[in-house]
Chains A and B, each alone.
Chain A
Amino acid sequence: MTLQITSMADIFMIILVFLLKTYGSGAIDVTPSPGLIIPRALTGSAPVEGLKLEIGEKTVRIDGEIAIAGIRDYKFKSDDLSANGASKALVSSLQRKKQEKSGSQVIVVADQRAPYSTIKAVLASAAVTGYTDFKLAVVNPN
């Protein structure tokens, strides 16, 4: 018995074309940490690149590197927050990052369960450091 692999080659070709067409359809290169759920929303904005600020349940990451590991339930420690609402530790990390990488654009990749107080603290920290152009990363349902 001879295996007919011509039809199999046809199937593989179709799968390959489909995959290549959908390849890289993600607007930006974001790899969320395990357990982080990005909220869903319809967007029409063009893809951008910038400093990625990831807000998770226990950590805040800057471009994938842990900047703050001491937060609990998405909340900063009260003694870490300054009068303007910014996190002292995050401001310090962002200042170091600012010296390495210029630009003012920040992509906020936050867990959908994070409270608004934490989002505000992160945005305030970024604004204090000179990052003033904010983009919110969401999962496009389409």
Chain B
Amino acid sequence: MSTIDGSGDPLARLGSRSPLSQDFDLNLAPIIDCFVVLIAFVMISTAFASIGILEATMAAGGRTPTGAASGDVRLRVDLSADGAIGIELSGKESGGFIVPALPGGRRDDVTLSRKLGEVKKNWPGLKQARLVAENTVAYKDVVSSIEVIRRTVPGVALDGF
């Protein structure tokens, strides 16, 4: 066995201390080895991107629109391919307005949120909205709109089938 001083005496590492002495140095090298392996394993297998779930239902087919029984009015949000957003109310209150697209064709989610807030203020019982998008609208925009609508109206049903 090799020792620090090369004398071959294992007690030489401990100097003149007795073998029964509790004054010793913990060998951290194997612990470090374990940590390196564990850290590498955990870093590889950790999902840093947290995948979440966005609830969305599918509007039923037929003539009776989904949400008819959820309140006094029915809300429908239309996404156009050019970035404009249509909001349509039917039932006890009929009407609609269009949120024009921002420069560059981006959707104006802030105005949409504000308009939906106004609708919700007038009709607190409104619990569901139907979302219709043109065929070419990207899924990203659909998800973004669902996120905005759900801040005001808890249920969103995808429609246009």
* Cα A29 to Cα B118 with chains together (Å): 38
Provided the pairs A5-B29, A9-B31 are in contact, do residues A41 and B138 lie with their beta carbons within 8 angstroms? Answer: no
* Cα A24 to Cα B49 with chains together (Å): 10
Provided the pairs A22-B46, A43-B53, A139-B50 are in contact, do residues A120 and B161 lie with their beta carbons within 8 angstroms? Answer: yes
Interface band, chain B: 35 or more
Provided the pairs A9-B32, A111-B139 are in contact, do residues A27 and B56 lie with their beta carbons within 8 angstroms? Answer: no
Instruction: Count contacts on A: residues with CB < 8 A to the other chain.
Output: 54
The binding surface of chain B is classed by DSSP as: mixed
Query: Are B58 and A41 in contact (CB-based, < 8 A)?
Result: no
Partner of B53, one of A5, A8, A27, A127: A27
Contacts of B136 in A (CB 8 A): 115-117
B55 at the interface (CB under 8 A from A): yes
**Chain A window 111-131, contacts with chain B (Cβ cutoff 8 Å), 1 for yes, 0 for no:** 111111111100110010000
CB-contacts of A79-117 with B (<8 A): 84-85, 107, 110-117
B57 at the interface (CB under 8 A from A): yes
Partner of B139, one of A46, A115, A132: A115
5 tightest A-B CB contacts, nearest first: A43-B52, A26-B47, A112-B140, A117-B135, A12-B35
Between-chain CB contacts (< 8 Å), 21 pairs: A5-B28, A8-B32, A9-B35, A20-B42, A26-B49, A41-B54, A41-B143, A46-B53, A84-B161, A114-B138, A116-B133, A116-B134, A116-B160, A119-B139, A124-B161, A134-B56, A136-B53, A138-B52, A139-B49, A140-B52, A142-B50
